[in-house]
Structure 1
Amino acid sequence: MATHAPDLEWLPGDVPRAEGFDDTYFSKAGGLNETRHVFLAGNNLPTRFQSRSSFTIAEFGFGTGLNFLTTLAALKDVPAAPELLFVSFELYPMTKDQLARALGAFPELNVFASELTSVWAPEAGWNRLSIGNAELLLGIGDARQMIGELTLMDPGRSGGTTQIPPVDAWFLDGFSPAKNPELWDEDLLRQAANLTSDDGTLATYTAAGWVRRNLQSAGFTVEKVGGFAGKREMVIGRKG
């Protein structure tokens, strides 16, 4: 199956907007600070990295890779940092040039961005990339289908599945639920819950009522907290 790059419009400040979803990849108010507020702080990171030998994060929507690289930057400052597995899904992977242009807006991430773009050649299916002290497991395709190929690690299990440790934190970062409801589907979120550790958490920028209800039906306990910049609310949660 061939991969298709997104059709982008570049807004001031080199903020990419996906024409197919009529939505930007990150906040025009500051993508780096948005990621730190929503996904890192929302999952109590990097505090939870401490005293861990390994940690698994998963997200829906790799996009520009901003969440991944921001996580790597936070991990760098943690003494005796754990090995990180970052699992992500992307239906429309950017080209190397698109990725480099988008990440150029964040000079603080230049070292990691250069490392990522130097090996960026995603193909349909599962791609494994080693960046910094982390492994990126990138699924190129429809997350609703590909998540079924993931199973929790079991030495006795073999066959056509990709095994991962239980997910410790979810970054739920698809485009606006109103414009991309597929990534907020109850069945998809239920499968995410099934892959989550008993003390696993989630964070998302959206506080849409039907998304909260889908998360609760999937097996998460959720609450609304203050959002980023002009957004009044976002959602955090935990399994159970």
Structure 2
Amino acid sequence: MADQRAELTWRDGQIPVSDRFDDPYFSLQNGLEETRHVFLAGNDLPARFAPRFRIAELGFGTGLNMLTVWSAWEISGQTTPLSFTSFEAYPMGRDDMARALDAFPDLTPWAERFLSAWQGGACDLSTLRLEVIEGDARKTLPAWSGQADAWFLDGFSPAKNPELWGSDLMQQVADHTAKGGTAATYTAAGFVRRGLADAGFTVARAPGYGRKRHMTRAVKE
């Protein structure tokens, strides 16, 4: 289990900001649309959805990314479980998650189902098999036996949280990606892109969301 929990300050009473990293958990403009742009479109989802599809993530945060893709999974007509594994060093409390997710009424049906069952760790919600692995991803990811078809790289800003973007961790991401799998992230930081490329991904810069000019997409050929 993680040694520490998320420490938060609330901006405008609605947007959680990490005290540890001085960074908001989601876009100040529209967190849901940013997630759809970066992590869904960035991984060619929902077009790639298929039974037994597996997603992995660095940084669970409020659960926004998971809920966004789970809702898209169900809306697209998938009826088998989506596998979603997230690595989180500083898990957020359930009540704080609920408060943050109130900002996204489009996701309320999924948020309510998730929060009613969530006690940390793992959760089986029929069309979703969720596992949140707590602790430093530099230690927990190498120990993970799974593989992902798509990665959501969503740690705090590389300038403020460089540990979650280092070349060794990007190599672990690649090592735990299926052939033809993808990764996407909101950042276009040069050292992140180089780390992904050195790990075996074909890396491309793409238009970012809102005020962010660029983001990164990667494919493991």
How far has the Cα of 1:191 moved from its partner? 1.1
Identity in percent: 51
Unmatched tracts of structure 2, length 5 or more: none
Q: Which residue of 2 aligns with 1:147?
A: 141
Taking the TM superposition and a 5 Å limit, the aligned residue runs for 1:67-216 are 67-122=65-120, 127-151=121-145, 164=146, 166-216=147-197
Q: For residues 221 and 2 of structure 1, what CA distance do their matches in structure 2 show?
A: 33
Query: Per the alignment, do residues 139 and 229 of structure 1 end up closer, same or farther by CA in structure 2, a change over 3 Å counting?
Result: same
8 Å CA contact 1:17–1:24 kept in 2: the answer is yes
AA aligned opposite 2:216? V
Supply the distance in 2 between the matched residues of 1:116 and 1:141 (Cα, whole angstroms).
Answer: 21
Q: Residues 20-59 of structure 1: matches in 2 within 5 Å?
A: 20-49=20-49, 52-59=50-57
CA distance in 2, matches of 1:83, 1:92: 26
* Aligned residues of 1:56 and 1:84 also touching (Cα < 8 A): yes
* Worse overlay, 56-65 or 183-192: 183-192
> CA distance change for structure 1 residues 148 and 63 in 2, over 3 Å: closer, same or farther?
same
RMSD: 1.3
Contact 1:17 1:25 in 2 (8 A): yes
Return the alpha-carbon distance in structure 1 between the equivalents of residues 116 and 204 of structure 2: 39
**1:140-164 deviations in Å (ceiling 9; x for gaps):** 111110112212xxxxxxxxxxxx3
Q: Distance in 1 between matches of 2:166 and 2:80?
A: 31
Q: Cα distance, 1:178 vs. partner?
A: 0.6
1:117 to partner: Cα distance: 1.7
**Aligned-pair CA distance for 1:80:** 4.0
Q: Is the contact between residue 25 and residue 64 of structure 1 (CA under 8 Å) also seen in structure 2?
A: yes
Which TM-score applies when normalising by structure 2?
0.96
Partner amino acid, structure 1, of 2:81? E
Shift in alpha-carbon separation, 1:64–1:80, aligned structure 2, 3 A:
closer
Q: Find the partner of 1:60 among 53, 58, 61.
A: 58
Aligned length: 221
Report if the CA contact (8 A) 1:72-1:132 is conserved.
Answer: no
> Post-superposition, which runs of at least 4 consecutive aligned residues in structure 1 deviate over 4 A?
none
Specify the SS of the correspondent of 2:159: coil
Aligned residue type for 1:207: A
Q: What is the alpha-carbon distance in structure 2 between the residues aligned to residue 13 and residue 215 of structure 1? A: 36
The CA distance in 2 between the partners of 1:67 and 1:81, in whole Å, is 19
**TM-aligned CA deviation for residue 132 of structure 1:** 4.7
The Cα shift of 1:170 comes to 0.5
Partner letter of residue 7 of structure 2? D
Cα deviation for residue 71 of structure 1 reads 0.4
Shift of the 108–13 alpha-carbon distance from structure 1 to 2, 3 Å rule, reads farther
Which has the larger Rg?
1
Q: Structure 1 unaligned segments of length 5 or more: list them.
A: 152-163
Contact 2:206 2:217 (C-alpha < 8 Å) held by counterparts: yes
Structure 1 distance, partners of 2:126, 2:66, is: 11
Is contact 1:227–1:233 with CA below 8 Å preserved after alignment? yes
Give the secondary structure class of the aligned counterpart of 1:135: strand
Structure 1 CA distance, aligned partners of 2:13 and 2:95? 16
- Structure 2 Cα separation of the partners of residues 62 and 116 of structure 1: 13
